[in-house]
Amino acid sequence: MNKKMRDLLAKHDAKVKEAKAFMEGETKDLEAFNKAMDEADDIMKEFEAEKRLFESEKAPVTVDPTQTKTEDPEEKSEKGEKTPEDAMKAFAQSARNGFYQPKTMSEGTNADGGYTVPEDIQTQINTYRDSKFSLLQLVDVESVSTDKGARTFKKRSQQTGFTKVGEGGKIGAKATPQFERIEYEIGKYAGYFPVTNELLEDSDSNIAQTLITWIGDESRVTANKLILAQIATKDAVALGDLDGIKKAFNVTLGSAFKATSKIVTNDNGLQYLDTLKDSTGRYLLSPDPNNAMAMRLAVGGSYIPVEVIPNDDLANAEVYVKTADKDVVTGKTYYTQSGAGTTADPYVYTAVESPAKASIGTYYEIESRIPMILGDLKEGVKYFDRKKMNIKTSDVAVMGELNAFEEDLTLYRAIEREDVKVKDTKAFVNGYIVA
């Protein structure tokens, strides 16, 4: 940032402060307020133009590794550069001011879109996402700039080769490549977070950390749910045991995906895999010698990487299945099924208080299924990211039973936009092992 840009920002802040003064006290001057804000908006437009010019004139800098050093925040501040502490304070101050939006703001780039989380703060949110588990690490993520679109892929087909043709014989037509499209449509996902106004009087770090923690983790969980929902569009396959896992890799996934595939499971799945042994009693799950933090499973002549997701993020599926028992097992809970299994009349399962052998054939029991997602999810699932995290606040809004004005609250609303689609159904197996 050059001196002119810093001066423009200072002028903008001063003009906003001047406008704010016109709205304080008993006598408000709306005309003067609007005039001052229009001038502030014009200053911001000039700033954006100067910023574009400044960035276009910057030449690449070659860094000598022997001369590099880490600058402390005081040195960066003296040079006019933004430090993480500056970003934190700016974010907190924006929170106190209700994330003010000039009237010229509309959807689009960060410069003219609704209030967008500052770049430094957004980086911290992404770091927080990774402190738990984000399935975005495993799938194909693409940033998009439109709300709708499509991607074109060549269909798989079994080619038969050329046909032998005799001298003077007719050459037959062959099938040409066929194509299909995957369409996406960005959806809006949002939530709000009530904050007491007492909290807003706390330190900058408290305000920022509260919002970052909430926004970052809600965003991570939202993406995880959307990705898992797409994986679940494939029928769940019972793998049975290690031989079932082996067949899924060798036959179902085959040579097209086996080399880049892995096992994605939860903590329960890790426990299951960690107990598997070969005929000599040696455990089949072991650390990857190239990465001590990673695990791999010996499956026949191959080693398959294992990705473990916490149970909180990838839980076992609890499914009602017809019992295979021929007689009532003491201590086991059985259920009866009612309903048509339709949207209007879904199945309802009721625990049987006094199960009887004569009715055992009509009973259901709960089967706990450990997820074992096998394959290459980067080829199997595509996440379209509109990269638009917007935050707005209000101290007078009513959300459900919450009345911000009456309860002395400030409501923070966060919105992001994304979509998830299955890219290639052949790239993964939605498998499970019965616990």
36 assigned to some structural domain: yes
Last residue of a domain, one of 42, 59, 76: 59
Does residue 32 lie within any of the structural domains? Answer: yes
Could you tell me if residue 34 is inside a domain?
A: yes
**pLDDT, position 62:** 45
Backbone angles phi, psi at 408, to 5 degrees: 55, 50
Task: Supply the pLDDT for residue 172.
Answer: 82
Q: Say if 39 falls within a structural domain.
A: yes
Could you report the per-residue pLDDT of 339-387, keeping only the tens digit for each?
Answer: 999 999 999 999 999 999 999 999 999 999 999 999 999 999 999 998 7
Give the range of the structural domain holding residue 344, as residue numbers without chain letter: 256-382+423-434
pLDDT, the chain, mean? 82
Q: Which of 63-67, 121-125, 178-182, 340-344 has the lowest mean pLDDT?
A: 63-67
- Per-residue pLDDT tens digits for 78-104: 555 556 566 667 666 666 665 554 444
Contact (Cβ atoms closer than 8 angstroms) between residue 87 and residue 56: no
Q: Which of 59, 75, 98 is the last residue of a domain?
A: 59
Average the pLDDT over 151-167 and give the result.
78
How many whole angstroms separate alpha carbon 123 and alpha carbon 108? 20
Most confident segment among 117-121, 123-127, 190-194, 212-216: 190-194
Cβ-based neighbour number of residue 304 at 10 Å:
21
How would you classify the pairing of strands 428-434 and 364-375? antiparallel
| Domain total in the chain | 2
- % of the chain residues with pLDDT over 90: 40
Out of 33, 59, 85, a domain closes at 59
Residue 79 placed within a domain? no
**403 falls within a domain:** no
Report yes or no: 142 and 385 within 8 Å, Cβ to Cβ. Answer: yes
Residue 266 pLDDT level (bands cut at 50, 70, 90) = very high
Q: Is residue 105 part of a domain?
A: no
Within-domain flag for 155: no
